A and B are shown apart, each in its own frame.
Chain A
């Protein structure tokens, strides 16, 4: 089975936010929930870089490790998903997540969080594949349709790659060799404890 990963080539990312709206479009993500976002480092200065970030579907995912109700699971494609019927909105996954991926709708009393929501790698959730119930809870299940996450498919400069880790690493590697520079696969060390060696 493939090991699905995201790879962001920050030498290509222009902060166009296509990934963000593509995600909203595909998964009908409500206002205030940002499964994916673009962060610009060093804004306005030479060396400025933008990085699109969402759940990286980590190896040995911290969210999964700290979840008090064990609502996370890893699919055969190594996508880290969670069961919203089990989630209690405690927020622990946000404390543990290195990438700030978990999102919580604000509901009820105080700032109480609702069920956690995050990037599913467009792989839906534990419901039946591509059922309405799955869509409403988790959004689209493109993986089951043989497609990849829409954020990466629609990335304007093809900076965001998604797919089998080996394949996208190879694409990135070739790109770096061709152009002669590359500032690394963002988040890989943290998420996968490896990096793309050129």
Chain B
């Protein structure tokens, strides 16, 4: 790249003074930045500096403008639509569909759905994600939303804490994602049931939920979005945490784009996940609190899995002696 630019320069600047001298004064200036930028077609104007910081050798990087456009317009719209849109959607859904009840009510018998390690890991990832999401959203929207409310000084304090939290929590978040992948990947491999499940709209719309294993197609979708999207967000995030360690200015800008857009989409998806795991569905939240879900809930949503578990002899536990842990 740089060689091509230098050649362009050579063509453009060679003999400029001598050449221009022979022209009548008033000749439009040659080799000004516009002409050079046009030739560069968006690349940077790059030269030589003696200081070790080679970023300084970039004289002009017009891409900053595009990044600014992305940050201030594209990201704001995409993020805004994704997050707010999802909230609107979920509210509407709730109003229309209401809370999905357990068919046949609670049986009083529970079955272990997630063991302690799974739950701990989930909450670690979840809590990290919430902080990362909020601090991330704050970086993009805070100056318009929070700043007018609490004033510049408090806002800086909050944002700075957010920045540090964002940087630090990136590591447990990534680790948790890795655990999730190891723990749940095998149960999230798509199979034929998922097609049926999806065709039937997952029982969320209409009636009659198709059979599914430990995770239904919707959950598998969440899982893969979380793991793969999270990986992308994490990878690009590390580029941002270690600025210019791996890449140059254009790489940094690209990293930011590849970080922020997946991140806001992930936030939107997670909002749906949170909704369905809490107020959206009766009996769901226990899976990640006590780990014990009602047998009826399990049969309703994960009948194949229940059959499997029962066949393995991990029977349902009566509520009286229900152990809070899945230590077996």
A and B touch in the complex (CB under 8 A): yes
Spell out A's residues near B (CB within 8 Å): 11, 17, 32, 34, 37-43, 45-51, 53, 62, 65-71, 83, 85-92, 94-100, 109-113, 176-190, 195-198
Task: Select B64's contact among A87, A96, A178, beta carbons within 8 Å.
Answer: A96
> Contacting B167 at CB < 8 Å: which of A83, A99, A110?
A110
Binding site for A on B (CB under 8 A): 6, 9-10, 12-17, 19-21, 23-34, 37, 45-51, 53, 55-62, 64-65, 67-68, 71-72, 138-140, 142-143, 147, 152-153, 155-156, 159-160, 163, 167-168, 240-245, 249, 252-253, 256
Q: Which residues of A contact B67 (CB under 8 A)?
A: 66, 95-96
Set of chain B residues within 8 Å of A70, measured between Cβ atoms: 143, 147, 152
At the interface, is chain B mostly helix, strand, loop or mixed? Answer: helix
Q: Which of B19, B26, B28, B56 has the most CB of A within 10 A?
A: B56
CB pair B156–A71 under 8 Å, yes or no, is yes
A-B contact count (CB 8 A): 205
A183 touches B62 (CB 8 A): no
Task: Compute how far the CA of A92 lies from the CA of B64 in the bound complex, rounded to whole angstroms.
Answer: 10
Q: How far is the CA of A87 from the CA of B152 in the complex (A)?
A: 10
Give bound CA distance, A89 to B20, whole Å. 45
Nearest CB on A from B322, distance (A): 44
> Is there contact, CB below 8 Å, between A40 and B62?
no
Interface contact A182-B56, CB-CB below 8 Å: no
Report the separation of the CA atoms of residues A55 and B244 in the bound assembly, to the nearest whole angstrom: 20
Assess A95 versus B21: contact at CB under 8 Å? Given A43-B48, A62-B65: no
- Say whether B28 contacts A198, CB under 8 Å: yes
* Structural contact, B152 and A86, CB atoms closer than 8 A: yes
Q: How far is the CA of A110 from the CA of B245 in the complex (A)?
A: 10
Given contacts A11-B17, A69-B159, A198-B29, contact A38 B71 (CB under 8 A): no
Among B29, B46, B140, B143, point to the contact of A182 (Cβ < 8 A).
Answer: B29
| A112 in complex: contacting residue of B23, B59, B140, B167, CB < 8 Å | B167
Given the contacts A46-B10, A68-B159, A110-B242, A96 and B32 also touching, CB distance less than 8 Å? no
The reply to whether B56 and A195 contact each other, CB–CB distance below 8 Å, is no
Given contacts A39-B56, A46-B15, A53-B59, contact A180 B23 (CB under 8 A): yes
Q: Are A110 and B241 in contact (CB under 8 A)?
A: yes
Within 8 Å CB of A83, what residues of B?
152
| Set B29, B46, B72, B156: member contacting A69, Cβ < 8 A | B156
Contact B62 A69 (CB under 8 A): no
Separation of A94 and B253 alpha carbons in the complex (Å): 10
Contact, CB under 8 Å: B61 / A100? yes
Closest 4 CB pairs of A and B: A184-B32, A47-B13, A181-B20, A39-B47
Q: Is the CB of B163 within 8 A of A187?
A: no
Neighbouring A residues of B23 by C-beta, 8 Å? 180-181
- A88/B156 in contact, CB under 8 A: yes
A45-B10, A98-B64 are known contacts. Are A111 and B139 too (CB-CB below 8 A)? no
Q: Contact check, B29 vs A183: say whether CB atoms are below 8 A apart.
A: yes
> Which residues does chain B contribute within 8 Å of A34, judged by CB atoms?
51, 53, 56
Question: B28 to chain A: which residues have CB within 8 Å?
Answer: 197-198
Complex CA distance for A71 and B68, rounded to whole angstroms: 16
A37-B56 contact, Cβ under 8 Å, with A42-B13, A45-B10:
yes
| Least CB distance, B309 to chain A, in whole angstroms | 44
A186–B55 Cα distance when bound, in Å, is: 18
Q: Which residues of A contact B156 (CB under 8 A)?
A: 69, 71, 85-88
Q: In the bound complex, what is the Cα–Cα distance between A37 and B56 (angstroms)?
A: 7
Residues of B within 8 A of A180 (CB): 20-21, 23-25, 27
Contact B167 A68 (CB under 8 A): no
Q: CA A32 – CA B56 in complex, angstroms?
A: 11
Q: Are B139 and A62 in contact (CB under 8 A)?
A: no
Known: A69-B155, A177-B25. A98 touches B60 (CB 8 A): yes
Q: Given the complex of chains A and B, what is the CA–CA distance between A42 and B28 in angstroms?
A: 22
Q: How many Å from the CB of A108 to the closest CB on chain B?
A: 9
* CB of A129, distance to nearest CB on chain B (Å): 21
CB B45 to nearest CB in A, in angstroms, measures 7
Give chain B residues whose Cβ lies under 8 Å from the Cβ of A189: 32-34, 37
